[in-house]
Amino acid sequence: MCSPQESGMNAVGARMVTRSRSRGPGAGLRRGGEEGAPLRSVEAAAEGRKSHSSVKRQRKTQRLNVAYEASEGETGEGAEHLQAPGWEPRDWQQQLENIRTMRSGKDAPVDQLGAEHCYDLSAPPKVRRYQVLLSLMLSSQTKDQVTAGAMQRLRARGLTVDSILQTDDSTLGTLIYPVGFWRNKVKYIKQTSAILQQRYGGDIPASVAELVALPGVGPKMAHLAMAVAWGTVSGIAVDTHVHRIANRLKWTKKATKSPEATRTALEEWLPRELWSEINGLLVGFGQQTCLPVHPRCQACLNRALCPAARGL
């Protein structure tokens, strides 16, 4: 049994415990929650302002992007600015027109003695195509006059795949001499003729890939054969004349070291509708005016436009 003094102390302790309990963890969290609420509201408001500002910036950025982007197929000033212009030589159109003017007479050797003039018009189509290919094989490193003479002698004996295969190498060499590298050409003509008989029924292939696979047939010959024999423009036929003139006029983005490199460079920018014209045009120009040695610059309409003539 407790004394009155103890009872008073207990009562005081009870009141203290009660007050302590009333300020326990739960009450502290509630008070903290009540006091923390304004802080969270401020933070939330700040976050809201940041988010709203970010959305505004994103919207502005999107509007700017839309202003400068052109949709597919769209035309107009904005779309034109996005298209990078392709490279093309300076003054090439005027240079080309001047060459056309100088070549208007069509009186160069290639105009009378080129591959399109060396076959027998009365022969069957398959034989004509074979004769076109043969004239191109003979023309490598050979003047047109010499090639035409060799073709006349061959045609006089009846120029077909069978007749060539029945001709011995010595006789064939005599008939095509003095074309350049005539001994090698005898071998190539015999090998190619045998392949044409075995694989193509005496006709010639109708693709560049198959043509260049034949012995003695290069890319220039293949593209010319496609144009003359098959009537198909497969690429630009580049020989030494076209190669030389294209570099003198700087019609290639950088100097090229081979006809095939020149062909690739020209086809990158020259409009396709000009591909069939360019070989005969430049070959004749190279035979008459833009000679390999001592070009006749004073007689050339391009003397003021030609980088080579101006020493550039």
Give the CATH number of the domain where residue 150 resides.
Answer: 1.10.340.30
Instruction: Please indicate, yes or no, if residue 73 is contained in any of the structural domains.
Output: no
Domain coverage including residue 229: 92-299
CA distance 165 to 39: 103
Q: What is the pLDDT of residues 211-265, one digit of tens each?
A: 999 999 999 999 999 999 999 999 999 999 999 999 999 999 999 999 999 999 9
78 inside domain: no
Residue 160 and residue 32 in one domain: no
Residues 231 and 121 in one domain: yes
Residue 76: the pLDDT is: 40
For residue 121, tell me if it sits in a domain. yes
**CA dihedral for 255, 267, 278, 146, sign (positive or negative):** positive
> Is residue 201 located within the same domain as residue 294?
yes
Q: Are residues 139 and 40 in the same domain?
A: no
What is the structure's pLDDT at 311?
86
Per-residue confidence (pLDDT) for residue 20, from 0 to 100: 41
Alpha carbons 248 and 259: distance in angstroms, whole number: 13
Residue ranges with strand state E in 30-88? none
Domain match, 241 and 163 both: yes
pLDDT at 126: 97
Cα–Cα dist 142/49, whole Å: 84
Number of domains making up the chain: 2
Instruction: Evaluate whether residue 75 is within a structural domain.
Output: no
Neighbours of 97 (CB within 10 A): 12
DSSP string for residues in 145-182: HHHHHHHHHHHHT--SHHHHHTS-HHHHHHHHTTSTTH
Query: What would the two tokens of residue 3 be?
Result: 């004394």
What does the pLDDT read at residue 186? 98
Are 134 and 189 in contact by the 8 Å Cβ rule? The answer is yes
Residue among 215, 241, 237, 216 nearest 226 (CA): 237
Q: Is 171 found in the same domain as 131?
A: yes
Mark whether 104 and 54 lie in a shared domain: no
Judge if 194 and 229 occupy the same domain: yes
Residues 259 and 166 in one domain: yes
What are the angstrom distances between the C-alpha of 264 and each of 132, 235, 259, 275, 290?
A: 24, 9, 9, 12, 22
The per-residue pLDDT for 312 is 65
Whether residue 148 sits in one domain with residue 39: no
My answer on whether omega of the bond before 178 falls inside 30° of 0, hence cis, is yes
Residue 101 lies in a domain: yes
- Those residues of the chain that have pLDDT short of 70 are 1-85, 312
Which pLDDT value is given to residue 95? Answer: 98
301: its two tokens: 């309409």
**Catalytic positions, written as ranges:** 220
Clarify whether residues 268 and 140 are in a common domain: yes
Check whether residue 212 and residue 153 sit in a common domain: yes
pLDDT (0 to 100) of residue 210? 98
